[in-house]
Structure 1
Amino acid sequence: MKSSATAQEVARLAQVSQSAVSRTFTPGASVSEETRAKVMAAAAQLGYRPNAMARSLITRQSRIVALVMSYLENQFYPLVIQTLSQKLQKQGYHVLMFISDLDEADEVMAEILQYQVDGIVLASTMLSPSLASSCAASGVPIVQFNRVADTSATARYGTNAVTSDNRRGGAMVAELLLARGFERIAFIAGLERSSTSVERERGFNEALAEAGHKVYRRAVGDYSFEGAQAATRALFAAEGLPPDALFVANDHMAIAAMDVLRNELALRVPEDVSVVGFDDVPQAAWGAYQLTTVVQSVEKMVAATVELLHGQMRGDAPPRHVVVPCELVLRRSVRPPANASGAASD
């Protein structure tokens, strides 16, 4: 059986140097179009395919970024996977995804490091001190995506983070609902220990307090569809007047809440109860929901994540926490002002 063609054979046939062959098959490397054409023609004739594993042994770079996630139920994270993968692939990197239980990211670390990854992105999972320590010891850059671990280990081991301005986003929701004249504003939290939920609720509460208000009722949905359904039932089963507005810590739960309000409790959205979410997943704009929500820019967050990874790989950038501004998009799940003649615009 004939052995596979080598880079040396391609170089001889194309009448170029072996380094030119290497540059041709290295994403982002500088090579003239004439040389590239010669090399590609020779490679096709010989049936040559570059060996990425062999190249990684020479360069000591795998060009693999590990993405660690705990769940994909929230429609926000498939968007993150798609955008991050596409951006890295254009730069010659590939994403290797690992799924771990929420509090068990540490258990996959040994497996991740076996692949000699060039960087790690943690999304929808928690960063523990031991995980931060493992990454620091291995010299592998790590970026927390949409999470910030409030631990001394995070600062000690120099991890990066990219989040949207969750605190300001929560405040914008409170300001909107107060401006629309709502009095009994309820809140459904995500995971109690999640920095996203904590910051969104903090900004929400601060803005309410500044206006002399406070949350009317509160429940926890754990960032799950079923949890949000149960939380909605609990909020509206309590004694006294029901809430007239509901802020939900993400769109995934907000959609679940709207289903319960309409289908189980026979309440109209927004006439009886107005609902606001957070994320702006594609489903939020569907005709059945038309959910007013806070937009997290996946594109900007992913761009910042990749920039941080590259800076850490080069070793010329200090660890940073990048906060991406967010904005409020108005749809039809919030009742317009009393003096308005129509529904809120899209």
Structure 2
Amino acid sequence: MAKRAIPKIGAQKISAQVTAQDVARTLGVSQSTISRAFSMTASISEDMKLRVIKAANKLGYQPNVIARSLITRRTNMVAIVMANLVDPFYPVVLDELVQQVQAGGFQTLLFVPSAGQKVDDIMPNLLQYQVDAIILTSATISSAMARICAARDTPVVSFNRYVPGLNIHAVSSDNVGGGRQVADYLVATGHERLAFISAQRDATTNRDRRSGFMTRLKQLKITSCLQEDGGEFSYEAGYAAAKRLLRQASRPDALFFASDVMAFGGMDAAREIGLSVPQDVSIIGYDDVPMAALPSYGLTTIRQPVREMAKTAMEILGLTGERARSEPTTRLIPGTLITRSSTKNRRAVSHLKETAA
């Protein structure tokens, strides 16, 4: 049987598919060296990596990721399920997750459920891709689907929320702690008529922010705090809720919204009805999306530690070189209060008035 000719470097035409073995034979190195040159995380010198890539380009060699996955039983792909791309917080999350996943030598597959579609409905299609891990953001799965993933040894992490009793990992900011920080800040700055505008009632992010806020106010002997149901994490929900609250005879002097995008709606509503922010009403959000720092909003908010959350998710899923955690793990990471021009120190103003009198 005649041996297959090895394509020579500089050849204009390639009559047969070039393999990693061909490139290795041409350079006089092992086939594993070729594989390492095309891996983001493998140990190989820059000089050798450059030699391999140049030779591969001239020979017309291109690694076959699918074929490699059949050998290694790993696709090096991570699925990200994101049910909400409208809220400006989630594009920030998506960017950070993709950067972290790619830095670890993996690629991402993005799945976005259609309006009204449950995450469980897309999971059978997702699992066909044999992904190495799944990250759920602004979404959750059923206990039955969690068991299916466990049976397939596919680790799953819920990002930015957790579901009590669900047998999957979870990484979130410490929303209870964030709510407590807001309560401490508003009371310390002399606000007395407070209100919390909630979003989705069943979301742990919403429940924990409200719980931390309300519980801390009771500890600080603040017994009067309005609660308004916005219904969802959206600009429209914050806008409508703020109008209802601020048109009352005894309106609040501070509004704490369950998210930044809701707070933006609240600020615009306040201005529309002739109120000044923060002279008439202070407004606080949660997330610290890029828009919060714009001069037109200058929103005081709780900054979510998205980068640290993403790194923690990678660690839990076993995407950093360590094995994935077998037992369900929930990590809560503290956020940071960022003060801007949407809030006012009323205690300082009151002191100045007393001094002037």
Please, what TM-score do these two structures have when normalized by structure 1? 0.92
Of 63-72 and 228-237, the range deviating more from structure 2: 228-237
Specify which of 125, 138, 142 is matched with residue 111 of structure 1. 125
Contact preservation (8 Å) 1:200, 1:249: yes
Q: 1:70 to 1:102 in 2, by over 3 A?
A: farther
Q: Distance in 2 between matches of 1:329 and 1:280?
A: 8
Query: Cα 1:102–1:187, aligned 2, differ >3 Å: closer, same or farther?
Result: farther
Task: Note if contact 1:102-1:126 (Cα within 8 Å) is conserved in structure 2.
Answer: no
Q: Which residue identity does 1:188 align to in structure 2?
A: I
SS of residue paired to 1:223: coil
SS at match of 1:132: helix
Q: CA, structure 1 residues 226+316, in 2 after alignment: closer, same or farther (shift >3 Å)?
A: closer
C-alpha distance in structure 2 between counterparts of 1:317 and 1:48, whole Å: 39
How far apart are the structure 1 equivalents of 2:262 and 2:329? 30
Counterpart of 1:49 in structure 2 is 62
CA distance in structure 2 between the aligned counterparts of 1:94 and 1:119, rounded to whole angstroms: 11
The equivalences for 1:309-324 within 5 A come to 309-310=317-318, 314-315=323-324, 318-324=327-333
1:81 correspondence with 2:94: yes
Aligned counterpart for 1:160 among listed residues 169, 176, 182: 169
Could you tell me which residue of structure 2 aligns to residue 204 of structure 1? Answer: 213
Displacement after TM superposition at 1:285 (Å) = 0.6
> SS state of the match for residue 285, structure 2?
strand
**1:314 counterpart SS class:** coil
- Residues 81-100 of structure 1 aligned to structure 2 (within 5 Å): 81-100=94-113
The 5-angstrom pairing of residues 1-346 of structure 1 reads 2-100=15-113, 101=115, 104-151=118-165, 154=166, 157=167, 159-213=168-222, 214-238=224-248, 240-263=249-272, 265-310=273-318, 314-315=323-324, 318-339=327-348
Give unpaired runs (5+ residues) of structure 1. none
CA contact (8 A) 2:191 2:346 kept: no
State how far apart, in whole Å, the 2-side matches of 1:316 and 1:272 are.
50
How far did residue 34 of structure 1 move?
Answer: 4.2
2:287 maps to a residue whose letter is D
SS of 2:225 mapped into structure 1: coil
Partners of 2:217 and 2:325 lie apart in 1 by: 42
Q: Provide the alpha-carbon RMSD of the alignment.
A: 1.9
Deviation string, structure 1 residues 43-88 (Cα, Å, up to 9, x no partner): 0210111011111111111111000111111111111111111121
What displacement does 1:102 show? Answer: 6.7
Aligned-residue offset at 1:103: 6.4
Distance change in 2, residues 1:2/1:311 (3 Å)? closer
Q: Once structures 1 and 2 are overlaid, which stretch shifts more, 300-309 or 129-138?
A: 129-138
- For structure 2, the residue ranges without an aligned partner over 5 or more in a row are 1-13, 353-357
After TM superposition, give the deviation of residue 181 of structure 1 in Å: 1.6
Structure 2 length normalisation: TM-score?
0.89
Distance of aligned partners of 1:339 and 1:314 in 2 relative to their CA distance in 1, 3 Å threshold: closer
Partner deviation per Cα, 1:202-233 (whole Å, 9 max, x = no partner):
00000111122232242224101112222122
Quick check: 2:279–2:344 contact (8 Å CA) kept in 1? yes
Residue 316 of structure 1: how far off its partner (Å): 5.7
